[in-house]
Amino acid sequence: MNLLSDKAWFLIGLQKRLSTQIILDQFFSFDRIKKISDSLTGYLDNLYLFDISIHPTCHVVISIGSSDYCKAVGMGVGWDLEKAIFSSLRECWQSVSHKIPSHQSHIRPAILKQLESVDPPEIEHIYLKNFEEISSKQLIEKYNYLFGDEVITEIEVKKNRPSHQENLTVLKNISEDLSIELLICYIPSILDDLPGSVIKIIGKGAFPHIKADELNPHLYTINGINKLNDNEIPNRGVMVPFA
- What pLDDT sits at residue 108? 52
Confirm whether 193 is domain-assigned.
yes
Domain count, the chain: 1
| 240: in domain | no
Q: Specify if 122 maps to a domain.
A: yes
Position 155, amino acid:
I
Q: What is the mean pLDDT of residues 49-61?
A: 93
237 conformational bin, left if phi > 0, alpha if psi -120 to 50, beta if neither: left
**Region 5-16 average pLDDT:** 91
CA atoms within 13 A on the CB side of 228: 20
- Mean pLDDT for 176-185 is 92
One-letter amino acid for residue 187 of the chain: I
Query: Per-residue DSSP letters for 193-242?
Result: T-SS-EEEEEEETB-S---GGG--GGG--GGGGGGS-GGG-TTTTPPPP-
**Dist. CA 44–CA 11, nearest whole Å:** 27
Taking the C-alpha atoms of residue 139 and residue 72, their distance in angstroms, rounded to an integer, is 9
Q: State residue 126's pLDDT score.
A: 81
pTM: 0.84
CA 45 to chain centre: 20
- For residue 243, pLDDT beyond 80: no
Stretch among 52-66, 76-90, 108-122, 218-232 having the lowest mean pLDDT: 108-122
Q: Is residue 38 part of a domain?
A: yes
pLDDT at position 160: 67
Residues of the domain holding 116: 2-229
- The pLDDT tens digits for 203-219 are 899 998 888 889 999 99
Q: What residues contact 75, with CB distance under 8 A and at least 6 apart? A: 5, 6, 9, 60, 61, 62, 63, 87, 88, 91, 242
Q: Is residue 88 part of a domain?
A: yes
Span 122-177, pLDDT tens digits:
556 788 888 888 999 999 999 999 998 888 877 665 666 788 788 888 888 999 99
28-37, 77-86, 96-105, 230-239, range with the lowest pLDDT: 96-105
Q: Return d(Cα 190, Cα 19) in angstroms, integer.
A: 44
58 lies in a domain? yes
Within a domain: residue 238? no
Q: What is the 3-state secondary structure (H, E, C) of 75-130?
A: EEEECCHHHHHHHHHHHHHHHHCCCCCHHHCCCCHHHHHHHCCCCCCCCCCHHHHH
Q: For the chain, what is the total number of helices (H) and then of strands (E)?
A: 7, 7
Residue 157 DSSP label: P
Q: How far apart are CA 135 and CA 71, in angstroms?
A: 8
DSSP state of 56: T
CA 228 from centroid of its chain's CA atoms: 23
Considering the domain boundaries, does residue 241 fall inside one? no
Beta partners for residue 60, in sequence order: 77
